[in-house]
Structure 1
Amino acid sequence: MNILEIFYKEALELFHKAGGSKEEFYWLISSMLVRYSAYKEELEIRRKLMDLIVQEVEGKILDAGCGLGILTFRMALKDEVKKAVGIDSSCELINFCNHLRNRITEKAEFLCGDFLNGEVNGKFDCVVFLYTLHDYEPEPFLEKALKILRQEGRIIIGDFDINGAREKVKAFAGKNGLEIVKDITLGRAKTHEGIHEAFLITARR
Protein backbone atom coordinates (compact mmCIF):
# COMPACT_ATOMS: atom_id res chain seq x y z
CA MET A 1 0.00 0.00 0.00
CA ASN A 2 1.45 3.39 -0.98
CA ILE A 3 1.41 6.59 1.07
CA LEU A 4 -1.63 8.10 -0.68
CA GLU A 5 -3.68 4.95 -0.12
CA ILE A 6 -2.81 5.00 3.58
CA PHE A 7 -3.70 8.68 3.84
CA TYR A 8 -7.02 8.13 2.07
CA LYS A 9 -8.08 5.13 4.18
CA GLU A 10 -7.12 6.81 7.46
CA ALA A 11 -8.79 10.10 6.51
CA LEU A 12 -11.97 8.28 5.48
CA GLU A 13 -12.01 6.40 8.78
CA LEU A 14 -11.67 9.68 10.70
CA PHE A 15 -14.49 11.16 8.61
CA HIS A 16 -16.82 8.31 9.56
CA LYS A 17 -15.75 8.38 13.22
CA ALA A 18 -16.66 12.09 13.30
CA GLY A 19 -20.17 11.22 12.14
CA GLY A 20 -19.78 12.07 8.46
CA SER A 21 -22.69 10.83 6.37
CA LYS A 22 -22.76 9.41 2.84
CA GLU A 23 -24.40 12.62 1.60
CA GLU A 24 -21.70 14.76 3.22
CA PHE A 25 -19.01 12.55 1.68
CA TYR A 26 -20.49 12.96 -1.80
CA TRP A 27 -20.78 16.71 -1.30
CA LEU A 28 -17.14 17.06 -0.18
CA ILE A 29 -15.76 14.91 -3.00
CA SER A 30 -17.96 16.52 -5.66
CA SER A 31 -16.98 20.03 -4.59
CA MET A 32 -13.31 19.15 -5.16
CA LEU A 33 -13.68 17.09 -8.33
CA VAL A 34 -15.70 19.72 -10.13
CA ARG A 35 -12.75 22.14 -9.79
CA TYR A 36 -10.13 19.61 -10.86
CA SER A 37 -9.92 20.63 -14.55
CA ALA A 38 -9.10 24.23 -13.57
CA TYR A 39 -6.30 23.14 -11.23
CA LYS A 40 -5.00 20.06 -13.07
CA GLU A 41 -1.84 21.71 -14.45
CA GLU A 42 -1.01 23.30 -11.08
CA LEU A 43 -1.42 19.99 -9.25
CA GLU A 44 0.73 18.17 -11.80
CA ILE A 45 3.51 20.71 -11.36
CA ARG A 46 3.27 20.50 -7.58
CA ARG A 47 3.68 16.72 -7.81
CA LYS A 48 6.73 17.18 -10.07
CA LEU A 49 8.23 19.62 -7.57
CA MET A 50 7.70 17.07 -4.82
CA ASP A 51 9.43 14.36 -6.88
CA LEU A 52 12.43 16.61 -7.54
CA ILE A 53 12.74 17.62 -3.90
CA VAL A 54 12.76 13.97 -2.80
CA GLN A 55 15.67 13.40 -5.20
CA GLU A 56 17.59 16.34 -3.70
CA VAL A 57 17.48 15.57 0.03
CA GLU A 58 19.71 13.57 2.37
CA GLY A 59 20.66 13.55 6.04
CA LYS A 60 18.35 15.30 8.49
CA ILE A 61 15.54 17.29 6.85
CA LEU A 62 13.11 19.97 7.98
CA ASP A 63 9.92 20.37 5.93
CA ALA A 64 8.64 23.86 6.77
CA GLY A 65 4.88 24.19 6.32
CA CYS A 66 4.47 20.44 5.79
CA GLY A 67 0.65 20.45 5.56
CA LEU A 68 -0.62 16.89 5.10
CA GLY A 69 2.92 15.57 5.55
CA ILE A 70 3.04 13.57 2.30
CA LEU A 71 6.38 15.11 1.27
CA THR A 72 7.80 14.60 4.77
CA PHE A 73 6.92 10.92 4.69
CA ARG A 74 8.28 10.49 1.17
CA MET A 75 11.59 12.09 2.16
CA ALA A 76 11.78 9.98 5.33
CA LEU A 77 11.39 6.78 3.30
CA LYS A 78 14.51 7.59 1.28
CA ASP A 79 17.57 5.56 2.36
CA GLU A 80 19.86 8.62 2.34
CA VAL A 81 17.58 10.44 4.81
CA LYS A 82 18.21 9.85 8.51
CA LYS A 83 15.21 11.80 9.73
CA ALA A 84 12.56 14.10 8.25
CA VAL A 85 10.78 16.59 10.50
CA GLY A 86 7.61 18.32 9.35
CA ILE A 87 6.34 21.46 11.03
CA ASP A 88 2.98 23.13 10.47
CA SER A 89 0.70 25.50 12.38
CA SER A 90 -2.32 23.19 11.89
CA CYS A 91 -2.29 20.89 14.91
CA GLU A 92 -5.15 18.88 13.39
CA LEU A 93 -2.97 17.94 10.41
CA ILE A 94 0.06 17.29 12.61
CA ASN A 95 -1.91 14.97 14.89
CA PHE A 96 -3.10 13.05 11.83
CA CYS A 97 0.48 12.72 10.53
CA ASN A 98 1.78 11.52 13.89
CA HIS A 99 -1.05 8.98 13.96
CA LEU A 100 0.31 7.54 10.68
CA ARG A 101 3.98 7.29 11.70
CA ASN A 102 3.78 3.63 12.76
CA ARG A 103 1.98 2.80 9.49
CA ILE A 104 4.54 4.47 7.22
CA THR A 105 7.86 5.22 8.96
CA GLU A 106 9.03 6.51 12.30
CA LYS A 107 11.90 8.28 10.53
CA ALA A 108 9.28 11.00 10.06
CA GLU A 109 8.43 13.32 12.95
CA PHE A 110 5.80 16.06 13.06
CA LEU A 111 5.64 19.22 15.16
CA CYS A 112 2.75 21.64 15.58
CA GLY A 113 4.09 25.17 15.62
CA ASP A 114 4.98 28.38 13.85
CA PHE A 115 8.20 27.83 11.90
CA LEU A 116 8.97 31.53 11.74
CA ASN A 117 8.38 32.48 15.38
CA GLY A 118 8.58 29.16 17.21
CA GLU A 119 11.51 27.14 18.49
CA VAL A 120 13.05 24.57 16.17
CA ASN A 121 15.64 22.44 17.92
CA GLY A 122 18.75 21.03 16.30
CA LYS A 123 20.56 21.53 13.01
CA PHE A 124 19.48 20.24 9.62
CA ASP A 125 21.20 19.19 6.41
CA CYS A 126 18.27 20.42 4.31
CA VAL A 127 15.45 22.86 4.96
CA VAL A 128 12.62 22.47 2.46
CA PHE A 129 9.88 24.90 1.44
CA LEU A 130 7.33 23.38 -0.95
CA TYR A 131 4.52 25.67 -2.07
CA THR A 132 5.01 27.68 1.11
CA LEU A 133 6.70 31.03 0.44
CA HIS A 134 4.63 32.48 -2.42
CA ASP A 135 2.17 34.26 -0.12
CA TYR A 136 4.87 35.81 2.09
CA GLU A 137 8.07 37.79 1.96
CA PRO A 138 10.63 34.97 1.72
CA GLU A 139 13.49 36.67 3.58
CA PRO A 140 12.36 36.07 7.21
CA PHE A 141 11.73 32.39 6.45
CA LEU A 142 15.09 31.98 4.72
CA GLU A 143 16.86 33.77 7.58
CA LYS A 144 15.30 31.31 10.03
CA ALA A 145 16.34 28.43 7.78
CA LEU A 146 19.96 29.66 7.84
CA LYS A 147 19.95 29.63 11.65
CA ILE A 148 19.16 25.92 11.75
CA LEU A 149 21.16 24.87 8.68
CA ARG A 150 24.40 22.93 9.08
CA GLN A 151 27.58 23.94 7.31
CA GLU A 152 27.31 22.92 3.64
CA GLY A 153 23.59 22.35 4.21
CA ARG A 154 21.01 23.25 1.58
CA ILE A 155 17.82 25.26 1.40
CA ILE A 156 15.43 23.87 -1.22
CA ILE A 157 12.49 25.91 -2.51
CA GLY A 158 9.85 24.57 -4.88
CA ASP A 159 7.10 27.06 -5.67
CA PHE A 160 5.37 29.29 -8.19
CA ASP A 161 6.91 32.64 -9.02
CA ILE A 162 4.23 34.79 -7.41
CA ASN A 163 5.01 38.31 -6.15
CA GLY A 164 8.59 38.01 -7.43
CA ALA A 165 9.37 35.06 -5.15
CA ARG A 166 12.06 33.59 -7.40
CA GLU A 167 14.17 36.75 -7.66
CA LYS A 168 13.74 37.43 -3.95
CA VAL A 169 15.10 33.97 -3.13
CA LYS A 170 18.07 34.48 -5.47
CA ALA A 171 18.75 37.95 -4.03
CA PHE A 172 18.75 36.49 -0.52
CA ALA A 173 21.19 33.77 -1.59
CA GLY A 174 23.57 36.34 -3.08
CA LYS A 175 23.41 38.58 -0.04
CA ASN A 176 24.12 35.70 2.35
CA GLY A 177 26.88 33.95 0.43
CA LEU A 178 24.79 30.94 -0.60
CA GLU A 179 25.69 29.12 -3.79
CA ILE A 180 22.73 28.38 -6.06
CA VAL A 181 23.45 24.85 -7.28
CA LYS A 182 20.11 24.31 -8.99
CA ASP A 183 17.68 26.76 -10.56
CA ILE A 184 15.19 25.16 -12.92
CA THR A 185 11.80 25.99 -14.40
CA LEU A 186 9.06 23.37 -14.50
CA GLY A 187 6.49 25.12 -16.64
CA ARG A 188 3.55 27.44 -16.13
CA ALA A 189 0.10 26.96 -14.65
CA LYS A 190 -2.95 28.89 -13.58
CA THR A 191 -2.77 29.61 -9.85
CA HIS A 192 -3.56 32.53 -7.57
CA GLU A 193 -5.67 34.28 -10.22
CA GLY A 194 -2.90 34.34 -12.81
CA ILE A 195 -0.53 32.24 -14.93
CA HIS A 196 2.70 31.72 -13.04
CA GLU A 197 5.99 29.92 -13.66
CA ALA A 198 7.03 27.12 -11.33
CA PHE A 199 10.64 26.85 -10.16
CA LEU A 200 12.96 24.77 -8.02
CA ILE A 201 15.96 26.44 -6.40
CA THR A 202 18.60 24.68 -4.30
CA ALA A 203 20.97 27.00 -2.44
CA ARG A 204 23.99 25.59 -0.59
CA ARG A 205 25.79 27.17 2.33
Structure 2
Amino acid sequence: MALFRKTLRKLSQGLSRTKQRFVGSLRSLLAGRQINEELLDELEAVLIQADIGIASTGRIIADLQAAYTQKRIAKGDEVIEFLKAELKKYWPPSDRAVHFADTGPTVVLVAGVNGSGKTTSVAKLAWLFKQQGKKVVLAAADTFRAAAVEQLSIWADRIGVDIVKGSGSDPGAVVFDACDAAKARGADVLLVDTAGRLHTQDNLMRELTKIRNVVARKV
Protein backbone atom coordinates (compact mmCIF):
# COMPACT_ATOMS: atom_id res chain seq x y z
CA MET A 1 0.00 0.00 0.00
CA ALA A 2 2.94 2.32 0.62
CA LEU A 3 3.97 1.93 -3.02
CA PHE A 4 0.42 2.67 -4.13
CA ARG A 5 0.27 5.85 -2.04
CA LYS A 6 3.63 6.90 -3.47
CA THR A 7 2.25 6.40 -7.00
CA LEU A 8 -0.83 8.48 -6.18
CA ARG A 9 1.37 11.21 -4.70
CA LYS A 10 3.50 11.33 -7.86
CA LEU A 11 0.35 11.51 -9.99
CA SER A 12 -1.00 14.36 -7.88
CA GLN A 13 2.28 16.24 -8.21
CA GLY A 14 2.30 15.70 -11.97
CA LEU A 15 -1.27 16.96 -12.33
CA SER A 16 -0.38 19.99 -10.22
CA ARG A 17 2.50 20.85 -12.56
CA THR A 18 0.22 20.39 -15.58
CA LYS A 19 -2.33 22.74 -14.02
CA GLN A 20 0.34 25.33 -13.30
CA ARG A 21 1.63 25.20 -16.89
CA PHE A 22 -1.89 25.51 -18.30
CA VAL A 23 -2.88 28.43 -16.07
CA GLY A 24 0.51 30.04 -16.67
CA SER A 25 0.04 29.89 -20.44
CA LEU A 26 -3.42 31.43 -20.06
CA ARG A 27 -2.11 34.28 -17.92
CA SER A 28 0.69 34.98 -20.40
CA LEU A 29 -1.79 35.04 -23.26
CA LEU A 30 -4.41 37.20 -21.55
CA ALA A 31 -2.44 39.64 -19.39
CA GLY A 32 -2.99 43.28 -20.32
CA ARG A 33 -4.92 42.55 -23.52
CA GLN A 34 -8.35 43.64 -24.66
CA ILE A 35 -10.78 40.97 -25.80
CA ASN A 36 -11.06 40.80 -29.59
CA GLU A 37 -11.35 38.18 -32.33
CA GLU A 38 -7.60 37.63 -32.47
CA LEU A 39 -7.41 36.94 -28.73
CA LEU A 40 -10.40 34.59 -28.89
CA ASP A 41 -8.77 32.63 -31.72
CA GLU A 42 -5.55 32.29 -29.71
CA LEU A 43 -7.48 31.27 -26.60
CA GLU A 44 -9.41 28.68 -28.60
CA ALA A 45 -6.12 27.13 -29.75
CA VAL A 46 -4.78 26.99 -26.18
CA LEU A 47 -7.93 25.28 -24.89
CA ILE A 48 -7.89 22.69 -27.66
CA GLN A 49 -4.19 21.98 -27.06
CA ALA A 50 -5.03 21.46 -23.38
CA ASP A 51 -7.49 18.68 -24.36
CA ILE A 52 -10.56 20.62 -23.28
CA GLY A 53 -12.23 19.14 -26.36
CA ILE A 54 -13.57 20.65 -29.57
CA ALA A 55 -17.22 20.82 -28.48
CA SER A 56 -16.47 22.19 -25.00
CA THR A 57 -13.98 24.71 -26.37
CA GLY A 58 -16.51 25.95 -28.92
CA ARG A 59 -19.10 26.36 -26.18
CA ILE A 60 -16.67 28.24 -23.93
CA ILE A 61 -15.61 30.62 -26.71
CA ALA A 62 -19.25 31.26 -27.66
CA ASP A 63 -20.13 32.05 -24.04
CA LEU A 64 -17.07 34.28 -23.78
CA GLN A 65 -18.08 36.17 -26.92
CA ALA A 66 -21.60 36.62 -25.52
CA ALA A 67 -20.24 37.90 -22.20
CA TYR A 68 -18.01 40.36 -24.05
CA THR A 69 -20.89 41.57 -26.25
CA GLN A 70 -23.04 42.05 -23.14
CA LYS A 71 -20.16 44.01 -21.55
CA ARG A 72 -19.91 41.59 -18.62
CA ILE A 73 -16.18 41.32 -19.31
CA ALA A 74 -13.85 43.54 -21.32
CA LYS A 75 -10.24 42.67 -20.50
CA GLY A 76 -8.16 39.56 -20.91
CA ASP A 77 -7.31 39.63 -17.21
CA GLU A 78 -10.98 38.91 -16.44
CA VAL A 79 -11.13 35.82 -18.62
CA ILE A 80 -9.57 33.29 -16.21
CA GLU A 81 -12.19 33.93 -13.52
CA PHE A 82 -14.84 33.73 -16.22
CA LEU A 83 -13.43 30.39 -17.38
CA LYS A 84 -13.43 29.01 -13.84
CA ALA A 85 -17.09 29.91 -13.41
CA GLU A 86 -18.03 28.48 -16.82
CA LEU A 87 -16.24 25.16 -16.27
CA LYS A 88 -17.92 24.76 -12.88
CA LYS A 89 -21.26 25.43 -14.56
CA TYR A 90 -20.59 22.78 -17.22
CA TRP A 91 -19.65 20.18 -14.60
CA PRO A 92 -21.87 20.63 -11.51
CA PRO A 93 -21.09 18.66 -8.33
CA SER A 94 -24.03 16.33 -8.96
CA ASP A 95 -22.33 15.12 -12.16
CA ARG A 96 -18.95 14.48 -10.55
CA ALA A 97 -19.98 11.67 -8.23
CA VAL A 98 -20.18 8.01 -9.18
CA HIS A 99 -23.82 6.92 -9.28
CA PHE A 100 -23.94 3.41 -7.88
CA ALA A 101 -26.62 0.91 -8.88
CA ASP A 102 -29.44 0.39 -6.39
CA THR A 103 -29.01 -3.38 -6.61
CA GLY A 104 -26.21 -5.57 -7.89
CA PRO A 105 -22.73 -4.43 -8.81
CA THR A 106 -22.01 -1.13 -10.53
CA VAL A 107 -19.91 -1.91 -13.61
CA VAL A 108 -17.21 0.51 -14.75
CA LEU A 109 -15.81 -0.27 -18.19
CA VAL A 110 -12.42 1.41 -18.70
CA ALA A 111 -11.46 1.94 -22.36
CA GLY A 112 -9.02 4.11 -24.27
CA VAL A 113 -6.02 4.23 -26.57
CA ASN A 114 -2.86 2.22 -26.00
CA GLY A 115 -0.61 3.47 -23.24
CA SER A 116 -3.11 5.90 -21.73
CA GLY A 117 -2.91 4.31 -18.27
CA LYS A 118 -6.11 2.24 -18.20
CA THR A 119 -4.78 -0.59 -16.03
CA THR A 120 -3.22 1.81 -13.54
CA SER A 121 -6.44 3.84 -13.47
CA VAL A 122 -8.43 0.69 -12.72
CA ALA A 123 -6.11 0.04 -9.77
CA LYS A 124 -6.55 3.61 -8.49
CA LEU A 125 -10.32 3.35 -8.75
CA ALA A 126 -10.24 0.02 -6.94
CA TRP A 127 -8.21 1.54 -4.12
CA LEU A 128 -10.55 4.57 -3.92
CA PHE A 129 -13.71 2.48 -3.82
CA LYS A 130 -12.24 0.14 -1.24
CA GLN A 131 -11.37 3.13 0.95
CA GLN A 132 -15.05 4.10 0.67
CA GLY A 133 -16.05 0.71 2.07
CA LYS A 134 -17.07 -0.83 -1.25
CA LYS A 135 -16.45 -4.47 -2.16
CA VAL A 136 -14.58 -4.46 -5.47
CA VAL A 137 -13.94 -7.08 -8.14
CA LEU A 138 -11.58 -6.55 -11.08
CA ALA A 139 -12.00 -8.10 -14.54
CA ALA A 140 -8.76 -8.60 -16.47
CA ALA A 141 -10.31 -8.24 -19.94
CA ASP A 142 -7.17 -6.93 -21.64
CA THR A 143 -6.30 -10.26 -23.23
CA PHE A 144 -4.15 -8.65 -25.93
CA ARG A 145 -1.24 -7.08 -24.02
CA ALA A 146 0.95 -9.82 -22.59
CA ALA A 147 1.71 -8.15 -19.25
CA ALA A 148 -1.72 -6.61 -18.64
CA VAL A 149 -3.22 -9.50 -16.67
CA GLU A 150 -0.08 -9.91 -14.58
CA GLN A 151 0.06 -6.17 -13.88
CA LEU A 152 -3.57 -6.04 -12.79
CA SER A 153 -3.09 -9.16 -10.65
CA ILE A 154 -0.24 -7.47 -8.80
CA TRP A 155 -2.38 -4.41 -8.13
CA ALA A 156 -5.30 -6.57 -6.99
CA ASP A 157 -3.03 -8.37 -4.52
CA ARG A 158 -1.58 -5.12 -3.17
CA ILE A 159 -4.96 -3.45 -2.80
CA GLY A 160 -6.65 -6.56 -1.44
CA VAL A 161 -9.46 -7.04 -3.95
CA ASP A 162 -10.64 -10.01 -6.02
CA ILE A 163 -9.73 -10.40 -9.68
CA VAL A 164 -11.23 -12.56 -12.43
CA LYS A 165 -8.88 -13.75 -15.18
CA GLY A 166 -9.63 -15.80 -18.26
CA SER A 167 -7.72 -18.70 -19.75
CA GLY A 168 -8.34 -17.70 -23.38
CA SER A 169 -8.21 -14.64 -25.62
CA ASP A 170 -11.91 -13.70 -25.53
CA PRO A 171 -12.44 -10.59 -23.35
CA GLY A 172 -16.20 -11.10 -23.55
CA ALA A 173 -15.83 -14.46 -21.81
CA VAL A 174 -13.73 -12.86 -19.08
CA VAL A 175 -16.38 -10.22 -18.47
CA PHE A 176 -19.11 -12.89 -18.51
CA ASP A 177 -17.33 -14.78 -15.72
CA ALA A 178 -16.51 -11.56 -13.87
CA CYS A 179 -20.17 -10.52 -13.80
CA ASP A 180 -21.12 -13.88 -12.32
CA ALA A 181 -18.32 -13.63 -9.76
CA ALA A 182 -19.23 -10.07 -8.78
CA LYS A 183 -22.85 -11.03 -8.17
CA ALA A 184 -21.97 -14.23 -6.32
CA ARG A 185 -19.53 -12.41 -4.03
CA GLY A 186 -21.87 -9.51 -3.33
CA ALA A 187 -19.56 -6.95 -4.92
CA ASP A 188 -20.56 -3.30 -5.06
CA VAL A 189 -18.29 -2.46 -8.00
CA LEU A 190 -16.93 -4.41 -10.96
CA LEU A 191 -14.03 -2.65 -12.71
CA VAL A 192 -13.31 -3.94 -16.22
CA ASP A 193 -9.86 -3.38 -17.71
CA THR A 194 -9.79 -3.58 -21.53
CA ALA A 195 -7.18 -3.61 -24.28
CA GLY A 196 -6.07 -0.35 -25.88
CA ARG A 197 -7.74 0.61 -29.15
CA LEU A 198 -8.40 3.50 -31.51
CA HIS A 199 -11.89 4.50 -32.59
CA THR A 200 -10.88 3.74 -36.19
CA GLN A 201 -10.29 0.04 -35.44
CA ASP A 202 -13.72 -1.34 -36.28
CA ASN A 203 -13.08 -4.88 -35.08
CA LEU A 204 -11.86 -3.69 -31.68
CA MET A 205 -14.75 -1.24 -31.34
CA ARG A 206 -17.16 -4.09 -32.07
CA GLU A 207 -15.38 -6.03 -29.33
CA LEU A 208 -16.23 -3.23 -26.88
CA THR A 209 -19.85 -3.41 -28.00
CA LYS A 210 -19.82 -7.14 -27.31
CA ILE A 211 -18.41 -6.57 -23.82
CA ARG A 212 -21.06 -3.95 -23.10
CA ASN A 213 -23.80 -6.30 -24.30
CA VAL A 214 -22.48 -9.04 -22.03
CA VAL A 215 -22.66 -6.67 -19.06
CA ALA A 216 -26.17 -5.55 -20.02
CA ARG A 217 -27.38 -9.15 -20.08
CA LYS A 218 -25.63 -10.30 -16.93
CA VAL A 219 -26.04 -7.39 -14.50
Q: Which is higher, the Rg of structure 1 or of structure 2?
A: 2
Give the TM interval when normalised to the shorter protein. Answer: 0.3 to 0.5
Alignment TM-score, normalising by the size of structure 1: 0.37
More helix by share: 2
Alignment TM-score, normalising by the size of structure 2: 0.35
